[in-house]
Amino acid sequence: MYDFFMKKYGEILMKKNIRGVIFVLGDNIDTDQIIPAEYLTLVPSKPDEYEKLGSYAFAGLPERYGFFVVPGEMKTAYSIIVAGENFGCGSSREHAPIALGASGVKAVIAQSYARIFFRNCTATGELYPWESEERLCDQFKTGQEVSIDFEHNQLINHSLGKTYNLKSLGDVEPVIDAGGIFAYARQTGMIPPS
């Protein structure tokens, strides 16, 4: 099990720059929109069910946003989410960041987060929860190409040729780099290797 997750993250974690196409959302995107309750029977520790969970990411969004994962596909074309305030509000389900990670998302950049979603991102190591220094969801459009520069805490919108400052990930960055709280605890010797 541990090897499955470490293999999945190995390539991502060695890079300190994420580049991809964005999916833009507004305020108060809740965990029921991220992964509807009907899909919570999928067990993320089983590789085939983990992948299936990703295919349902954002299945609860209003139709005005369009498809995040094209029906019949297992992965999304969008590796970065840009959102407004209070992203991940609602119930405290760990499945929310897991579904996004399983779909192919590597980072979310939001104006603010629900605390439990931010903590679940860190604990699971699924994706990087960046906070923007300004409201970006009104300035960006779905489909634009962007990159996140970890060293300088910046989001570069290549489609617009503009750079935006992000708040530092701080102490959560090495935990996510390790693949989550348990992997980090093993890596730092807090718990013995499995």
Residue 192 binned pLDDT confidence (cut-offs 50, 70, 90): confident
CB 153 within 8 A of CB 145: no
Residue 22 in this model has a pLDDT that exceeds 60: yes
Q: Is it the case that residue 194 has pLDDT exceeding 80?
A: no
What is d(CA 22, CA 110) in angstroms, rounded to the nearest whole number? Answer: 12
Task: Give the pLDDT score at 61.
Answer: 97
- CA-based torsion, 174, 118, 156, 17: positive or negative: positive
Residue 183 lies in a domain: yes
Q: Is 182 part of any domain?
A: yes
**Is 193 contained in some domain?**
no
Above 60 in pLDDT, residue 11?
A: no
Strands 80-83 and 17-24, sheet pairing: parallel
- Per-residue pLDDT at 5 exceeds 70: no
Mean pLDDT (whole number) for 129-141? 97
Q: What is the pLDDT of residues 141-189, one digit of tens each?
A: 999 999 999 999 999 999 999 999 999 999 999 999 999 999 999 998 8
- Residue 92 is encoded by which pair of tokens? 């405290």
Average pLDDT over residues 38-55: 95
Can you give the pLDDT at residue 16? 87
- The conformational region for residue 42 under phi > 0 = left, psi -120 to 50 = alpha, else beta, is beta
Say if 192 falls within a structural domain: no
Say what percent of the chain tops pLDDT 90: 86
Report the CATH number at residue 86. 3.20.19.10
What's the chain's Rg over C-alpha atoms? 16
Domain count along the chain: 1
Query: For residue 124, what are the domain limits?
Result: 2-187
Compare 18 and 6 and report the one with higher pLDDT. Answer: 18
* pLDDT of amino acid 6: 46
Region 8-33: what's the mean pLDDT? 81
Evaluate whether residue 194 is within a structural domain. Answer: no
Residue 70 lies in a domain: yes
Structure tokens given for 69: 């994962």
Average pLDDT on 65-78 reads: 96
Evaluate whether residue 100 is within a structural domain.
Answer: yes
| Predicted pLDDT of residue 191 | 87
Residue 73 belongs to a domain:
yes
Tokens of 65: 């946003």
pLDDT band (50, 70, 90) for residue 193: confident
The whole-model pTM stands at 0.89
